[in-house]
Structure 1
Amino acid sequence: MFQFEQHHGDAIFVSGIRRLRLCFPTEATVRVTYTEDSVFTERASAIVIARGHVSFNVEETQTLYRLSTSAIEVLVSKASGALTVLNSQGRVLLKEPHRGGKWLTRKKVYRNLFSAAQSIATGQSIDGARAAAESFEAVFDREAFEAKLEFSFVEDEALYGLGSHEEGYGNLRGRSRELYQQNMKAVVPVLISSRGYGVLLDCESLMTFHDDALGSYWWADTVAELDYYIFCGSTLEALYGQYYALTGKPAMLPKWALGYVQSKERYVNAEELLDVAGEYRRREIPLDCIVLDWKSWPNGSGWGQKSFDPIRFPDPSGMTRALHDMDVRLMVSIWPIMTGGCENQIELQQNGQMLGNQSTYNAFDTRARTTYWQQAKRGLFDHGVDAWWCDCTEPFEADWAGAVKPEPHTRLCINTDAAKKYIDEARINSFSLLHSKGIYDGQRSATEDRRVLNLTRSSYAGQHRYGAVTWNGDICGTWEALRRCIPEGLNFCATGEPFWTTDAGGFFVANDPALWFWRGDYNDGCRGLTPMDALQPDAADIGCRDKGFWELYVRWMQYACFLPMMRSHGTDAAREIWRFGEPGESFYDALTAIIRLRSRLVPHLYSLMAAVCRTGTPMLRPLALEFPDDPITRQVDDAFLLGDSLLIAPVTEPMYYSRSSQPLEGRRHTRRAYLPVSSDWFDFWTGIPHAGGIWVNADAPLETIPVFVRSGSILVLGPVRQFTSQLPDEPYTIHVYPGADAIFTLYEDAGDGYAYERGEYALIHFRWDESQQQLTVLPREGRFPTMTATRELTFQIYADTGLKTETVRYDGAEVRIRCTER
């Protein structure tokens, strides 16, 4: 039987060697710690940065203890310590099995000692340089635990989260997940339920999740104690607000990050970068950022040096000035791995700031993070580089070879054993979190005028604090890979890490049977030689000629238009828009149209980003989290919500061409999409309304994908801009979709820098009153130095009798528009 005592604001329950501690960091969050040691550890957390205490009430019955705040109630079984969590209305949110649900198995933890005279084996993989220590001594370090946390889920609930993986799972009920960092796995230890609660496991080791024949549980490889948080909210905003109360609010990205980002593997010199940026400007196709992939460092200097090759980039400051003169930003790839005796590697080695392979810097060391940043600053940032692409942030990847993909458990062992060789096994999942922190802290110490933007291949809970956007790794150019992106991106964003993207078109376009991961579907006109040829300077200078790939690329770009970052990237074939035809040709025109639509969406997207950062409202949402009472949404994993208004249904199968440019005959150019209950929906392209709770066969010609707008919504669209800061005073178009009350808050600030943290921003609230058929633009709140004081606003209201249009000059005072055509 567990006995209760209260100690310094914590509830402590003891039964023999078992010790259970509960406290309430917020009114709607309970922290649970369980150990079989005599005391709890007071370890610092890399994930949770706020550990407040609120008071709680305690009641005791014959069989349980009841702990409660104003928003959450926890029942603790006296017999087993099993928890039952309820919301303030008495609804059961989550239960642990009656036998207890919390299990620890004691284990010994060893660490490896590496001598100064050790031999280091180096090599070149498809994914970059690698180094491995060939000799070391394993010594006992401490005792710890394996942990198992069991749940009893309710039959009709849906679960999302745990990050972005490969399988293409949506709702995680009936699924399992292996949680370790790998090229195409970005782990976040957070689960979110359609019943209005979330679970954060404060653990940095290898984990697995099961909701299958083996049971419903979370297993952790190495912990000092079992430490987790259960939080709840009656709305998604309230729910994610609890997560951010623990882990900190997301940092705003620069506004230009929402524009189109052009990348490929790879641009090889300054001339090519400037020519591509200039061609976009000449063609009047919006572009905000161009990306310089790996090997920008000096030829022959070794891998990963954070400075420009003086031959290919003779004047890096002049190059960035020329890009900035075109209003194009530059993102540069940097790596945590340095080999070949480059200057950066030697400096970190001499400072004792490398991991045991003497090639991967120790991101767990504050001093090493500072040194790494200083290298990036003097070699890149001081020359005008605007953003970072922190590649290979796992940072060890051991299975990226061979023709046959290893079995899942084999891959787990290969990759985690490689990481444990150099990193404490309790922390192998959090390298990316600390690496991102180093970049963020470093740049903020250098300037407050430029926001941090860091594209990273791995992630972890809390990484949103550091200006990070995660992409899902080097996936293949196939229709199936595109389909899998949709649910995986939703699971990633469901964790509360809000900014996610993908390589539009897939990274590997061609197929190489010698490598299990290089399995694109399109060889026609691609590189077509050996994988190592992709590392040559001219490897991807031509476009793929296969119209099957052209169609896939258009559909992928249409999907990417509605992601937090719209970015094209890949190897085998160049991705610039003119590789897909010329003006007046269908593929070129479709790509132009979707990039221009992205430009028009920026005011709306920026407001959604601000809502994430200010209030916790998520940008990308699985349908089941927004419509938990609609059972069909739990099975829909190929569509999503952008904000609470736009339902996006990407096209994930070919309609015009198969491989080798073979025309597809008799294909219908429609896409079946589900419109959830409790709302009516408007076709975004035509304005035609549809009832909710039905499946529709939506038109999906090459130039569009199905997009629907929820009734009771307001969209703010701007003009087509060649870059996001162009035409700051131009009119906005406000689209109003009646059927229910609506409110939308337009957020504006300088677009860059951190003055917004000091309150330098403005809010304009648009409110639609359905009963009065009236739109009100409320008085502007706040201001900032470069604010547009007066702007022309054109309102388009989709009334029953047709489209009502009215234009006003908004100067910050209240405006009312009444729609009488009912």
Structure 2
Amino acid sequence: DGIIQDWQYWGPNSNWNSMNFDNPEFPDPQKMIDHVKKKNAKIMISIWASFGPDTNPYKDLEKINALFNFKTWPADGGVKAYDAYNEKARDIYWEHLNKGLFSKGIDAWWTDSTEPDHLDVQERDFDIPTAMGTYRSVVNAFPLMSNKGVYEHQRAVTSDKRVYLLTRCAFAGQQRYAANTWSGDVVCNWETFRKQIPTGLNFSLSGIPYWNTDIGGFFNWPYHGGAENKAYHELYTRWFQYGTFLPMQRSHGSGVKKEIYNLGKKGDWVYDSEEKYINLRYALLPYLYSTGWQVTDNAGSFLRALFMDFNEDQKVHNISNQYMFGKAFLVTPVTRNMYVFSDKEQWKDPYEDFSKTGTQDVYLPKGTKWFDFWTGEALNGGQLVTKEVPIDIIPLYVRAGSIVPFGPKVQYSTEKKWNNLEIRIYPGADGELVLYEDENDNYNYEKGAYSIIKFTWDDAKRTLNIADREGTFPGMLKSRKFNIVVVDKENGTGSVQSTKFTKSVSYGGKKKSVKL
């Protein structure tokens, strides 16, 4: 659960990225940070790869000749990017970051402008020397080096808090620096939204598994009236549904107040849909965390182009609007407006028409059966289906053989223990799940402080085997209950936790075999 403090908490551009709360509008930053944490959220803050001339980092970097003399953002104020290839420059960067922000309890870093921003580009700019050769020879690796500096220095200071970076650019190998890359400041429109899906898949195929996008887009140019524009509400709603099935679900943008309470109130379709998917995201935390472990331990991925799992089905090779989210979920975002229209430019005076329910075509890859997540209907693969998509429904199918852990309804991620997890089994094929758990923060898992519980489903025998728990960690649940639901049209459907179970099983760490 994170809230982000964006730029300019440092004051004027000449003081750009001072890594300190120098803006008088922040009279008591420690109180703000503590307040966020008391509300059970983490706080992330914007830091840049450039500095204004009035800042202490600028002065220290200038002394070692570690500033680049080309125009960067912002264009006024004398701001310069730093030489991230220079080890001493990375030391200086962290020294000020640690003193001004990390020491106050900042949890995570928004490492912005890691291209870095380069304005009024001149050919001679690329001949500028860096600590690793000419800028031209190493320019694309700038985000790798800048994020590396933050990661390695924080790890050296403490292993009690995991490094978490949100960054705008990436280079090969950057996944080892705890970096989650977003697609940048994109425009709020349907065409841009459609392009996010293949963008994220191609990015993931490059071997970097953590990627996300500004839900609803960043620049709100097309929508007159911003947060009150119903046409924007439809775009935002569909983008939010897509964002639920990304490694990070994150809303961000300029000119529109995107908090759920600014877009509407309970009973409004934009509010109710957003609330529904927030709750679904929390329910999927055990699945997300276990998938995250597969990323770390087995070089897995969250976003999977269909040919990664169904390569023998040639029909999936060029499908760019669908993907697997982990191994279980087939996701097909709705990327066109169906219910709000306008005859004018910039979506002025939009009007709603819910008289007809829109539809979305979905191709179900062959070789397996699929379950409609919302209805429990089982369908054969190898066919194109037309799914009705009311404003609060994204087409979501689950592969037969999937075992999906479903968590409790919560207001924040650690509010409730996972001592009564719902385990949804989608029959029709054998399957397995490795449920991963640890202390939720710190790096003790690198020393073996974690547990895994392996579930296997024998479809022919309709038997769920729960293996012996492997590993331990402080605070681990030693005994718990698993509420098992074999999914069909009557059971285990939709985003709300089930109240009726096929069988409830007490588990104390020793293997069990459950006939269902």
What is the TM-score when the length of structure 2 is the normalising length? Answer: 0.91
- 1:801, CA displacement in angstroms? 9.3
1:492 to 183, 194, 203: 203
Work out whether 1:449 is the aligned partner of 2:160: yes
Identity %: 37
Matches within 5 A, 1:650-661: 650-658=333-341, 659-660=347-348, 661=350
Take 2:422 and 2:13, find their aligned partners in 1: how far apart are those partners? Answer: 53
| Post-superposition offset of 1:333 | 0.4
Amino acid at match of 2:209: P
Higher strand share: 1
In 2, the alpha carbon distance for the partners of 1:468 and 1:458 equals 10
Is 1:805 equivalent to 2:502 in the alignment? yes
The one of 480, 483, 502 aligned to 1:791:
480
Listed as ranges, the gaps of 5+ residues in structure 2 are 71-78, 342-346, 493-500
Cα deviation 1:265-290 (Å, max 9, x = unaligned): xxxxxxxxxxxxxxxxxxxxxxx110
- Report the 3-state secondary structure (helix = DSSP H, G, I; strand = E; otherwise coil) of the residue aligned with 1:734: strand
Residues 485 and 491 of structure 2 are in contact (CA less than 8 Å); yes or no, is this contact kept in structure 1?
Answer: no
Aligned pairs for 1:386-465 (under 5 A) are 386-398=107-119, 414=121, 418-421=125-128, 423-465=134-176
Instruction: Report deviation, 1:321.
Output: 1.6
SS at the partner of 2:150?
A: helix
Q: CA deviation at 1:444?
A: 0.6
Say whether residues 1:605 and 2:299 are aligned partners: no
Conservation of the 8 A alpha-carbon contact between 1:607 and 1:746 = yes
Kept in 2: contact 1:416–1:428 (CA 8 A)? no
Aligned pair count reads 490
The change in CA–CA distance for 1:300 and 1:800 in structure 2 (over 3 A counts) is closer
For residues 682-701 of structure 1, what are the structure 2 equivalents within 5 Å? 682-701=371-390
The separation in 2 between residues aligned to 1:603 and 1:801, in whole angstroms, is 23
> 1:396, CA displacement in angstroms?
3.3
* Contact 2:376-2:490 at 8 Å conserved across structures: no
Tell me: CA distance 1:448–1:801, structure 2 relative to 1, closer, same or farther (3 Å).
Answer: closer
Deviations 1:591-643, CA, capped at 9 Å, x for gaps: 00001100010110010011010011221100012111111101210010011
Q: 1:417 to 1:817 in 2, by over 3 A?
A: farther
Q: Report the counterpart of residue 496 of structure 2 in structure 1.
A: none
Cα 1:354–1:301 change in 2 (3 A) is closer
State the alpha-carbon separation in 1 of the partners of residues 507 and 122 from structure 2: 57
| Paired position in structure 1 for 2:270 | 587
1:668-719 CA distances to partner (integer Å, 9 max, x unpaired)?
Answer: 4221110000011000111111110001111211112000000111101101
Matched, 1:553 2:242: no
Structure having greater relative contact order (Cα 8 Å, sep ≥ 6) = 1
Give the TM-score normalised by the residue count of structure 1.
Answer: 0.58
Structure with more helix by fraction? 2
Q: Give the drift of 1:322.
A: 1.6
Q: Which residue pairs with 2:393 in the alignment?
A: 704
What does residue 470 of structure 2 align with?
Answer: 781
Deviation at 1:302, TM superposition (A): 1.9
Taking the aligned partners of 1:729 and 1:644, their CA distance within structure 2 comes to 21
Matches within 5 A, 1:32-47: none
Label 1:800 to 1:483 Cα distance change in 2 as closer, same or farther (>3 A).
Answer: closer
- Name the structure 2 match of 1:817: 514
Q: Verify: 1:350 aligned to 2:63, yes or no.
A: yes
Q: Tell me the distance in 2 between the aligned counterparts of 1:801 and 1:440.
A: 48
SS at match of 1:311: coil
- Alpha-carbon separation, structure 2, partners of 1:302 and 1:588: 39
- Take 2:23 and 2:116, find their aligned partners in 1: how far apart are those partners? 28
Query: Which amino acid in the other structure matches residue 219 of structure 2?
Result: F
Task: Look up the match of 2:7.
Answer: 294
CA distance in 2, matches of 1:696, 1:568: 31
Compared CA separation, residues 590 and 415, structure 1 to 2 (3 A): farther
SS of residue paired to 2:83: coil
- Confirm or deny: 8 A CA contact 2:237 2:274 kept in the other structure: yes
State the 4+ residue runs in structure 1 displaced beyond 6 angstroms: 800-804
AA matched with 1:463: Q
Structure number with greater Rg is 1
Contact 1:396 1:415 in 2 (8 A): no
Amino acid at match of 1:349: E
Contact 2:377 2:489 in 1 (8 A): no
Deviations 1:380-403 (A, max 9, x none): 11011110001110013337xxxx
Aligned amino acid, residue 807 of structure 1: S
The secondary structure found in structure 1 opposite 2:503 is strand
Alignment correspondent of 2:497: none
What is the match of residue 251 of structure 1?
A: none
Shift of 1:785: 0.5
Partner Cα separation in structure 2 for residue 309 and residue 679 of structure 1: 58
Displacement, 1:482?
0.8
Name the SS for the 2:50 alignment partner.
coil
- The corresponding residue for 2:223 is 522
One-letter code aligned to 1:810: Y
1:666 positional shift: 6.1
Deviation at 1:424, TM superposition (A): 2.7
Equivalences for residues 364-379 of structure 1 within 5 A: 364-379=85-100
Output the CA distance in 2 between the equivalents of 1:800 and 1:320. Answer: 46
